[in-house]
Chain A
Amino acid sequence: MEPFHLTIFESQALLKKKSLSAKELTESVLKRIEATQPKLNTFITLCEESALCCAKEVDEKRARGEALSPLAGIPISLKDIFLTRGMKTTCSSRILSDFIPPYDATVVDRLKKNDVVLVGKANMDEFAMGSSNENSYFGPVKNPWDLERTPGGSSGGSAVSVSAGQCLGSFGTDTGGSVRLPAALCSVVGLKPTYGRISRYGVIAFASSLDQVGPLGKTVQDVALLLEAVAGYDSFDSTSHPIPVPSYQTALKKDLKGLTMGIPDEYFREGIDPEVLKAVHTAIDQLQKLGAKRVKISLPHSSYAIPVYYLICTAEASSNLARYDGVQYGFRATASTLAEMYLKTRGEGFGREVKRRIMLGTFVLSSGYYDAYYKKASQVRTLIQKDFTEAFKQCDVIVTPASPTTAFKLGEKTENPLEMYLTDIFTTSVNLAGLPALVLPCGFDQKQLPIGLQLIGPHFKEERLFQMGHAYESATDWHTRKPSL
Chain B
Amino acid sequence: MKISPQEVERLAKLAWLKLDPEEVKRYSQELSSILDYVETLNQLDTSQVSPTYHVVPQKSHLRKDEIGRSLSQEEFLSMVPAHEEGAVKVPKIIDIE
Contact = CB atoms under 8 A, between A and B. Distances in A.
Contacts, number: 159
A332 B81 contact: yes
A194 B27 contact: no
Interface in B27-46: 27, 30-31, 33-35, 37-38, 40-42, 44, 46
A359 B41 contact: no
Nearest to B77: A328
B65 to A, nearest CB: 14
B90 interface: yes
Given A102-B75, A343-B17, A375 B51 contact: yes
A336 B33 CA distance: 37
B15 interface: yes
Given A102-B75, A346-B17, A363-B11, A417 B44 contact: no
B15 A346 contact: yes
Given A235-B61, A363-B31, A380 B96 contact: no
A162 to B, nearest CB: 27
Q: Is the interface of A mostly helix, strand, loop or mixed?
A: helix
A418 B93 contact: no
Size bracket, chain B contacts: 35 or more
Contact of A381 (B52, B71, B80): B52
A443 interface: no
A99 B31 CA distance: 31
A179 B96 CA distance: 40
Given A102-B75, A373-B38, 7 more contacts: A100-B79, A209-B55, A238-B60, A304-B41, A337-B92, A346-B18, A377-B41
25 contacts: A100-B79, A102-B79, A235-B63, A241-B58, A307-B37, A307-B40, A330-B81, A338-B92, A341-B90, A341-B91, A343-B17, A348-B18, A359-B12, A359-B17, A363-B7, A363-B31, A366-B11, A373-B38, A376-B41, A380-B44, A381-B51, A382-B49, A383-B44, A421-B34, A433-B55
Top 10 closest A-B pairs, CB basis? Answer: A347-B18, A378-B51, A434-B55, A379-B46, A343-B18, A307-B38, A332-B81, A329-B79, A342-B16, A238-B61
